Structure 1
């Protein structure tokens, strides 16, 4: 027998073993931040509704009303951006955490590496479906199997509805931005109307995101504490 010691690869070359950790704390933070986003959306909706009503009666618009509208719109946009930025950071951290947990639950079910749970959001056009694909795979992996060990199929409707609302809100905001830049004399009632609808859809998306985060976190906690199979 050879006395040559077994080769031990350097720490940097060793495979990283995914570790199961509770996403509960992150989920609570994301929930609170998403609620703040929803409140910011409501403020923006009220601001846009006020501007929309003023533009509907352009001839009687006073300088004070125009300044008040601009000031309110600027403040609400600032609130929205700040809330969305902070929420996005914490949400992506939570999303990566549940993706790593999914690899512990069912490694073969994940078609993309865990890093895609972060990087997928920053790829032009790819961000429209990569996070959705990952979310669906994590959702399935976080579902307990039947008592006999067979795979249970749980509807991904909460994932699909949330993602559809999110993409639609982003598309409407992009449309509103293009429409607004095309207006030489300032925002038109049409562009403000599109922005009003966009923020309304974004509000709905924020509420749906809260439901998605809470549901998926609960699914992972149940599977981690009660085991991979549901009780008979």
Structure 2
């Protein structure tokens, strides 16, 4: 077991981890509402594509489009709040990983935030940073499986791709065919995001526990709550 780390301290990720879990749960709840809106839009625009007409159909279409628009706005707000909370936790566990095993971290700490927002780099940098934190936070001399992180990241990328595919049809938004395609891709994106958010909760819980257990096991390292 490594000796004490002079003049170094860890800060508990437990509080921020709980907050991140709650906010991810909020995203899941909002996404479930969005799935309902997506399915409603997919259903009604499918009727239009198949030739359905009449005042009742058009009134229902207007109502469903408004519901879908509302769902999108609520999703954006919940995701923005979740991003803030999640990144606060992510920065904390990255800092702790730098204490546990500085040599395991190939990127500067600020990449734990910036890496999520740089186009193209954000498709793999956050996953790579997470894996390095994961490896540094595990028990000394062991490596835990990366399966959970990899499946979570795959589902997250899938949701982004489906969202992007929906955006390609946005220019036809007010036509039945365009709305139908947008609803189809939005439905796929939201379902993938729900599963990704659920897996993200498991990542947060597992990594938080790993760091807490390792901090307790490291003699000479002060744990600050």
Same-fold call, TM > 0.5? yes
Matches within 5 A, 1:66-215: 66-145=61-140, 151-183=141-173, 185=175, 187-215=178-206
CA distance in 2, matches of 1:19, 1:111: 20
Secondary structure of 2:202's partner?
Answer: helix
CA distance in 1, matches of 2:139, 2:29: 35
CA distance in 2, matches of 1:164, 1:123: 18
CA distance in 2, matches of 1:41, 1:185: 24
Q: Report if the CA contact (8 A) 1:18-1:103 is conserved.
A: no
User: Unpaired segments of 5 or more residues in structure 1?
Assistant: 1-16, 146-150
User: What TM-score comes out, normalization by structure 2 length?
Assistant: 0.87
Secondary structure of 1:62's partner?
Answer: helix
CA distance in 2, matches of 1:40, 1:109: 36
Secondary structure of 1:40's partner?
Answer: helix
Larger radius of gyration: 1
Q: CA deviation at 1:63?
A: 2.8
Q: CA deviation at 1:182?
A: 4.3
Q: CA deviation at 1:64?
A: 2.1
User: Unpaired segments of 5 or more residues in structure 2?
Assistant: 1-6, 220-225
Q: CA deviation at 1:180?
A: 2.1
- Equivalenced residues, count: 207
CA distance in 2, matches of 1:185, 1:73: 15
Q: Report if the CA contact (8 A) 1:18-1:100 is conserved.
A: no
